[in-house]
Structures are given as C-alpha cells and as structure tokens.
Structure 1
Amino acid sequence: MNQHLSLVSLVVADYDEAIAFFTGALDFELCEDTPLGGGKRWVVVRPPGGAGSGLLLARADGPAQVARIGDQTGGRVFLFLETDDFDRDHARMIAAGVRFVEEPRHEAYGVVAVFEDLCGNCWDLIQRKSTHGCETSP
C-alpha cells in the first residue's frame, strides 16, 4: 500500500493575507488558487521544493471556525517545518518579520525553535539530525 498525507487544512481569516504570509515570510510556493463560488477558494501552499505535504488555506466560515483561528491545537505546536539549513532559514524568516517565541535550542533530535504564523498557530522550525523512516521529535 502506498499512501501519504497530501494536505492539512489551516483555518485562516483571509485568503490573500494568508497567501502573502506563506509565500512571503515563509517562502512557500502557491500551488493552487481556484475559485469555488460563493467567495470560497481552494488555496494550496507548499514549502519550497514541492516534496511532502501542503497546506489547504481554509477561510473560516462561521463563529465556531473563527474561534479556532490561531488556536487549532490548544496552544501546542501544530506544524513542523523541517529544513536542511536551520541557520539560513531562521535568519531569513526573522528578516521577513516572522515572530519566534524562543531562541533556537539544540535537542537530541536536532536544532529547533518555535515560531508563530500570521494567525498565532505555533510551528517548529527544525533541522533534524536524522531524517530516516518514521522518526519524530517529541
């Protein structure tokens, strides 16, 4: 069997604001932006290189979804952006105005720092020591 996660839905307040953040501050690629009618769009962004999962930017629809913007996981780190060069990407992201909530730290699994996206969701920027198999960080 061959399966993979292709997209993770991220609830945002505004499509264009989210596209600007992900393509500007995080250097993601805009892979698709298709109108669906009624103001809805199918918007997909991916980290540079095109490998792995992407994000489906989903504009909040209704009070329950609006309440989840920026807090999809109750304050825990939600997404993990893995890099092959932590120092390069950390410096570029800081220069682009990304807010890191901690200094980089060295862990048994690699170097990592938590940052917030435009909505306040927590992410790890991580360069792992090993990228084999199903290894994950805590």
Structure 2
Amino acid sequence: MSKAIEQKIGSVALVVENYDDAIAFYTKKLQFELIEDLDLGGGKRWVLISPPNSTGTNLLLAQASNDQQKSAIGNQTGGRVFLFLHTNDFWRDYEQMQANGIEFTEAPRSEEYGMVVVFKDLYGTRWDLLQLNKTTA
C-alpha cells in the first residue's frame, strides 16, 4: 500500500535589500519571530521569520545579490498583494501596526470573506492583514 501524498509549503522567499533591516522591521514592527539566522558564507544567510504562534509557512528573507534581484524588491508580484497575514483579532493587530508606524494603503474594509486592509512592508511589498469570517476560515 502506498503512502498518501502529504505536502506543505514550508517557506516563501521574500527578496529584501538588507537582512538586518528586514529582520528589525518584521520582528519589531510586525512582532514576527526570528526562527533561524545562519551564516552560509559569502554574505549569504538562511533567515527564517514567522508570525507569532504560527504553525504554517515561514518567510525566507533573501538578500538581493544582483541587479535583477534588486529590481524585484518591493514588487515581486507586479504591484499586487503578495502575502496574506491572517489574524484572530483584526482590530488588535491593525491598531498595533498603526502604533508601530506601518503604512496602510487604504482604510480597513469588511468583505464577504472577512475584515481586510492592505499594508506595505519596509520595501513596499503589499500585504493583506486579514481576519476571515468563521464560515470561510
């Protein structure tokens, strides 16, 4: 009998300008946890971050090493929202993010699927802060 397929997305690479600046932003402004920071030599590091108490996908911060990668910083999806930060308390996190100086591109809005607002990270990458309705979660 063969094993059932079991897969998950472990990490998503996010191209950043500088490891330390990105770590500081995500851990201080968004309260993410630094999971791993390993020196790989030659200026490369393996840097994993994750939202607090997350059991899902991590972000792998990847410092740009050439002009092509540098041109993608902040715009890895052609101006669309790239990442979706789910929360169990939209207003708590929204207010904390406001207090931490996070840039929002719109006012919070209620959609059929839940509460959402778009914000930018330190490089302009667009994110959704999202609390799904219980029926869509």
TM-score, structure 1 normalization: 0.94
**Partner AA of 1:82 in structure 2:** H
**Partner AA of 1:124 in structure 2:** D
Q: Distance in 1 between matches of 2:121 and 2:27?
A: 12
Q: Which residue of the partner structure matches residue 126 of structure 1?
A: 130
- Say if 1:54 and 1:128 are closer, same or farther in 2 by CA, change over 3 A: same
Q: Which residue of the partner structure matches residue 88 of structure 1?
A: 92
1:131 Cα deviation after fit: 6.7
Gapped regions of structure 2 (runs ≥ 5):
none
| Corresponding position: 1:14 with 2:18 | yes
Q: Which residue of the partner structure matches residue 75 of structure 2?
A: 71
Counterparts of 1:94-113 in structure 2 under 5 Å?
A: 94-113=98-117
- Provide the alpha-carbon RMSD of the alignment: 1.1
- Say if 1:131 and 1:61 are closer, same or farther in 2 by CA, change over 3 A: farther
Q: Distance in 1 between matches of 2:135 and 2:72?
A: 32
1:50 Cα deviation after fit: 2.8
Q: Which residue of the partner structure matches residue 60 of structure 2?
A: 56
Q: Distance in 2 between matches of 1:2 and 1:22?
A: 30
Count the aligned residue pairs.
Answer: 133
| Corresponding position: 1:43 with 2:40 | no
1:130 Cα deviation after fit: 2.9
Which ranges of 4 or more aligned residues in structure 1 deviate by more than 3 Å? none
Q: Distance in 1 between matches of 2:61 and 2:49?
A: 8
Q: Distance in 2 between matches of 1:8 and 1:94?
A: 25
Percentage of pairs with the same residue: 55
Q: Distance in 2 between matches of 1:93 and 1:24?
A: 10
